[in-house]
Amino acid sequence: MAQSSQAADGLASIPALLQRNATRFADKPAYREKEFGIWQTWTWSDIKREIDDLALGLINLGVNEGDFIAIIGSNRPQLYWSMVAAQSVGAIPVPVYNDSAAEEMAYVLDHCGARFAIVEDQEQVDKVIDIQDRLTLFEHMIYLDPRGLRKYDHHKLHQFSHVQEQGRAARDEFTPDLEARQAKLTYASTCVMLYTSGTTGKPKGVVLSNRNIIESAKSSCEFDKLALGEEVLAYLPMAWVGDFIFSIGQAYWSGSCVNCPESPETMMTDLREIGPTYFFAPPRVFEGMLTNVMIRMEDASRFKKRLFDHYMAHARRVGPAILDGKPVGLMDRMKYALGNLFVFGPLKNTLGFTNVRVGYTAGEAIGPEIFSFYRSLGINLKQLYGQTEASVFITVQPDGEVRDDTVGVPAPGVELRIADNGEVFYRSPGTFESYYKNPESTASTKDAEGWVATGDAGFIEPGTGHLRIIDRAKDVGKMEDGSLFAPKYVENKLKFYPNILEAVVFGNGKDRCTAFINIDLQAVGNWAERNNISYSSYQELAGHPSVLDAVQKHVEEVNASVAQDEMLSGCQIHRFLILHKELDADDGEMTRTRKVRRRIVEDKFHDLVKALYDGSQTVSTKTEVTYEDGRKGYISATLTLRDAKVFPIVQGKVAAE
Amino acid sequence: MNALSPEGYVTADGRKIGGQLMEMKNITLRFGGVKAITDISFDIREGEIRAIIGPNGAGKSSMLNVISGFYVPQEGEVWFRGARRPQMKPYEVAQQGIARTFQNIALFEGMSVLDNVMTGRLNNMNANIFSQAIWKGRAEREEVLNREVVEKVIDFLEIQSIRKTPVARLPYGLKKRVELARALAAEPKLLLLDEPMAGMNVEEKEDMSRFILDVNDEFGTTIALIEHDMGVVMDLSDRVVVMDYGKKIGDGTPDEVRNNQDVIDAYLGVSHD
């Protein structure tokens, strides 16, 4: 492959990679965005010009080396350019979750001491103006979309295109300065700062150097043979490390094209139009797609339904083997080819997966059925395990060694170690520099030799060398009788049922386990519709006796499967309830990346947890909820508690099921 | 009460409002023996958001229909852009740059959102039926230009995700937005909105208010609207006409109207002791 022969010398920063791409791939597409119903394309030489103009404009505005520039908005090419323009002038881009409430944004902007912010539209401008008074260092804001902003005070507010125009006008004056600043960028200089979503406490600013990003991008591109001509869809939050690696790191390294959807709501349509070759999605996206397919198949004609069921059954049997290149009989292959003609091909086309060569999922465990569904269609979906501190990659699944229960082997350049308590440690070129302004956390996470604690408990499977993650290390506990308590393990099994959106299992230090359940409004609502159950709200549906029955069945099935595992059989769920509200990031119950904040949930609903253990049949509660605009309200409810059947422990099985 | 200079005025939030765009002079409208509107005069100025309010049956919708040229008043004159307006056909009114939305949504239910909004460009399609049929030359050029305008409106109202969805499948709040899109596609000078917020929840009302303000701000479109929700009217409009039983009982800025005793009486009732 062309790239692997290049020495990383001279390509020590993203602006340097841009320079290379602008000459080498000049007329190849770099970014696309659907606007006004049409895909607009910018080539590598176009974006070099755009980024230079902006960089000059930033110098004109007074950006100094080492300044922090907050980038807030959804995936727009201009915001991606802003990151690279910031790097070009020696500043550090700090992408911020665009759906964060003003309060969360204030913390991040204040913590990094941002002097500038580049934001998408009026919504974000308003948020920053709201918190501006609390930010001592904050000076100027640049916005992309001028709509609704005409009447705002423009002393410290600038339109993106005007900043570029001013930069263009001052080209001769500032170009030497810009070039000098770019020349100073090395492998060791900071590439980007990303705030972790923070399942515990305040977000931490992870400082990633050019070395981290470029080395990670380079080795992962080589691992999956990504090269010029790849198409990726940029739709995940820009503040998330994965998006930075996929849409900037790997895209700049391999010269692939980043496609930005028209709006978050049109993502599925845009996905189909683009047909990416390299696709990443968290499990919930794959799950949502599968649920949609299944719902639509329920409504399809009998003939179509039978055709679908028949060929899908065959695909489940032989599809993954064909994908892995294992021997499969000729008849089976021919039948699979027919299935491809009638079912899989059109289905993949509808989903937008026709061209996908490599697909990844990570962040959470993916249900085995969901995973095998996509693989049996012939989509090369794989799992990886990573975190912000590692510039994403810790372990990945190589082609041909893909399984639903492991997260793969160490990524190129990564060393792995399991501590005595089961916690996973790694060391790699992608390992972060430090947490910004937080030496204590840095020291407690990364030791002097560069080993980083992941906070996850897991083990390396003997024989295959694949890593298996059990749970967050701090969540793993002991039951009263000393048996292992791994809530995530059970929660994941529950969440694999389409009806169950979230589950929170309690039981650390207790004599038995109990659970909170969130139902999936779409799946259960659809089921309710087909069974003539009327409901007006989530709360009403969640309290319906037949819904409780259905969930009870799922819980008991999970108990039966947990009982198979000697090590974890103590985690069977004895009692459960269905929560009267969906766990929500706005209420602080989840992170912005939709991970449950266990402690907060336990604290907030302590009366419900108590009821689960004191044997009462119903419990009344009142809960505060926060609306999207920050207003607060209360909902009260009476919840029914259910007992679930538990199963005797099956002896003699290994912990690995 | 209404000492406005003929050249225009400046609103509380600093927007410059121009001279008269439309003037109603002593309008009286009768349906047989029923007087729907009695001797009403007021004006609409360029760039302003003008509301017509009043209790049920006050004659608001009739007034809007007079403005749109659908009803012809028995007495009085309608002046538009400095000229007296003769009796007109609806399409002639549209050609003058007046577009409207309806209280009861009037979209083509079976057509997609895009096609519905494209109908707003009807007056900008001049190609003859033959060139339309073979889709060459003028017809194609026109369609491309018109589509561009329509796409900008779709982007503006943030309805990209339902571009290809048949209108019948949309919820009420979105249908209202599609109607607004169709009206905007005509690039009107004067936009008439008949109860744009009727039947909406708080969130949808907030969205719609934002769009109305943005339309006015971005395109400088003059807007005349009828609305029941007092909170919305008082927040949005620059000047308000209040009607009751077909008569004008108040006219002025929201604050003036709010403190007008006749208006208070009409809305809250008068004690009869």
pLDDT tens-digit map of B169-224: 998 889 999 999 999 999 999 999 999 988 888 888 999 999 999 899 888 899 99
Contacts 24+ apart (CB under 8 A), A637-640: A637/A539, A637/A543, A637/A580, A638/A543, A639/A543, A639/A577, A639/A578, A639/A579, A639/A580, A639/A608, A639/A611, A640/A543, A640/A545, A640/A548, A640/A577
Position B69 scores a pLDDT of: 87
Burial class (CB in 10 A: 0-12, 13-18, 19+), A633: exposed
Pick among B13, B160, B203, B210 to test the A interface (most A CBs inside 10 A): B160
Residues in chain B within 8 Å Cβ distance of A39: none
| Cα separations in angstroms, A78 against A46, A84, A164, A262 | 12, 10, 11, 13
Coil, helix or strand for A171? helix
Nearest CB partner across the interface for B161, out of A148, A150, A263: A263
How long, in residues, is chain A?
657
- For chain A, the residues whose C-beta falls within 8 A of a C-beta of chain B are 35-38, 147-148, 150-151, 262-263, 265-266, 269
Across the interface, do A151 and B154 touch by the CB < 8 Å criterion?
A: no
A265: nearest CA in chain B?
A: B161
Nearest CB partner across the interface for A265, out of B152, B161, B210: B161
Residues in chain B within 8 Å Cβ distance of A147: 156, 214, 218
| φ/ψ (deg, to 5) at A152 | -75, 155
Position A650 scores a pLDDT of: 64
The pair of three-digit structure tokens given for residue A355, joined into one six-digit string: 């061209």
The H-or-E segment that residue A77 falls in is helix A77-88
Across the interface, do A265 and B14 touch by the CB < 8 Å criterion?
A: no
Nearest CB partner across the interface for A36, out of B13, B151, B217: B151
Across the interface, do B217 and A266 touch by the CB < 8 Å criterion?
A: no
Residues in chain B within 8 Å Cβ distance of A150: 217-218
| Ramachandran sector of residue A400 (left: φ over 0; alpha: ψ -120 to 50; beta: rest) | left
Across the interface, do B163 and A265 touch by the CB < 8 Å criterion?
A: no
> How far A36 CA sits from the closest chain B CA (Å)?
5
The residues of chain A scoring below 50 in pLDDT are: 1-7, 652-657
Cβ(A541)–Cβ(A525) below 8 Å = yes
- Give me the total of CB pairs closer than 8 Å, taking one residue from chain A and one from chain B: 36
> How far B116 CA sits from the closest chain A CA (Å)?
16
Q: Model ipTM? A: 0.79
Q: Which CATH architecture has domain B1-87+222-268?
A: 3-Layer(aba) Sandwich (3.40)
The pair of three-digit structure tokens given for residue A557, joined into one six-digit string: 């099935």
B215: nearest CA in chain A?
A: A148
pLDDT tens track for A416-445: 999 887 899 999 999 999 999 999 989 989
B219: nearest CA in chain A?
A: A147
> How far B3 CA sits from the closest chain A CA (Å)?
26
| Ramachandran sector of residue B76 (left: φ over 0; alpha: ψ -120 to 50; beta: rest) | left
Pick among B13, B145, B148, B155 to test the A interface (most A CBs inside 10 A): B155
Across the interface, do B14 and A151 touch by the CB < 8 Å criterion?
A: yes
B148: nearest CA in chain A?
A: A36
Residues in chain B within 8 Å Cβ distance of A263: 158, 160-161
> How far B159 CA sits from the closest chain A CA (Å)?
9
Residues in chain A within 8 Å Cβ distance of B151: 36-38
Across the interface, do A266 and B210 touch by the CB < 8 Å criterion?
A: no
The H-or-E segment that residue B216 falls in is helix B202-219
Residue with tokens 């709501």: A265
Do strands A92-96 and A68-72 pair parallel, antiparallel, or not at all (unpaired)? parallel
Residues in chain B within 8 Å Cβ distance of A35: 155
Nearest CB partner across the interface for A36, out of B152, B158, B210: B152
> How far B217 CA sits from the closest chain A CA (Å)?
7
Nearest CB partner across the interface for A36, out of B148, B158, B218: B148
The fourth-level CATH superfamily of domain A477-643 is ANL, C-terminal domain (3.30.300.30)
pLDDT tens track for A247-265: 999 999 999 999 999 988 8
Cβ(A134)–Cβ(A106) below 8 Å = yes
* CB-side neighbour CA atoms (13 Å) of B79: 15
Nearest CB partner across the interface for A266, out of B148, B151, B161: B161
A629: nearest CA in chain B?
A: B203
Pick among A36, A126, A154, A263 to test the B interface (most B CBs inside 10 A): A36
Rounded to an integer, what distance in angstroms lies between the CA atom of residue A609 and that of residue A597?
15
Rounded to an integer, what distance in angstroms lies between the CA atom of residue A190 and that of residue A208?
6
Across the interface, do B160 and A263 touch by the CB < 8 Å criterion?
A: yes
Residues in chain A within 8 Å Cβ distance of B147: 37
Q: Is the pLDDT of residue B88 over 90?
A: no
Coil, helix or strand for A219? helix
> How far A265 CA sits from the closest chain B CA (Å)?
6
Pick among B161, B184, B219 to test the A interface (most A CBs inside 10 A): B161
Please name which of A366, A365, A421, A426 lies closest in space to residue A392, comparing C-alpha atoms: A426
- Amino acid letter for position A114: A
Can you say whether the dihedral through the CA atoms of B88, B94, B100, B101 is positive or negative?
positive
Residues in chain B within 8 Å Cβ distance of A262: 160-161
> How far B182 CA sits from the closest chain A CA (Å)?
16
pLDDT tens track for B15-38: 788 888 999 999 999 998 888 999
* Strands laid side by side in the A257-260 sheet: A38-43, A29-35, A257-260, A231-233
- For chain B, the residues whose C-beta falls within 8 A of a C-beta of chain A are 13-15, 147-148, 151-152, 154-156, 158, 160-161, 163, 210, 213-214, 217-218
Rounded to an integer, what distance in angstroms lies between the CA atom of residue A514 and that of residue A608?
11
Across the interface, do B217 and A151 touch by the CB < 8 Å criterion?
A: yes
Beta-carbon contacts of B162 under 8 Å, excluding residues fewer than 6 positions away, are B113, B170, B174, B178
Q: Assign B272 a pLDDT band (cuts: 50, 70, 90).
A: low
Position A6 scores a pLDDT of: 40
Cβ(B39)–Cβ(B55) below 8 Å = no
Across the interface, do A151 and B160 touch by the CB < 8 Å criterion?
A: no
Nearest CB partner across the interface for B160, out of A147, A148, A262: A262
> How far B256 CA sits from the closest chain A CA (Å)?
25
Residues in chain A within 8 Å Cβ distance of B161: 262-263, 265-266, 269
Options 3.40.50.12780, 3.90.1150.10, 3.40.50.300, 1.10.1060.10; CATH for A14-280 is 3.40.50.12780
Q: Could you tell me the residue ranges of all domains in chain A?
A: 14-280, 283-379, 477-643
Rounded to an integer, what distance in angstroms lies between the CA atom of residue A477 and that of residue A470?
12
Nearest CB partner across the interface for A37, out of B14, B151, B213: B151
Across the interface, do B160 and A265 touch by the CB < 8 Å criterion?
A: yes
Residues in chain A within 8 Å Cβ distance of B154: 36-37
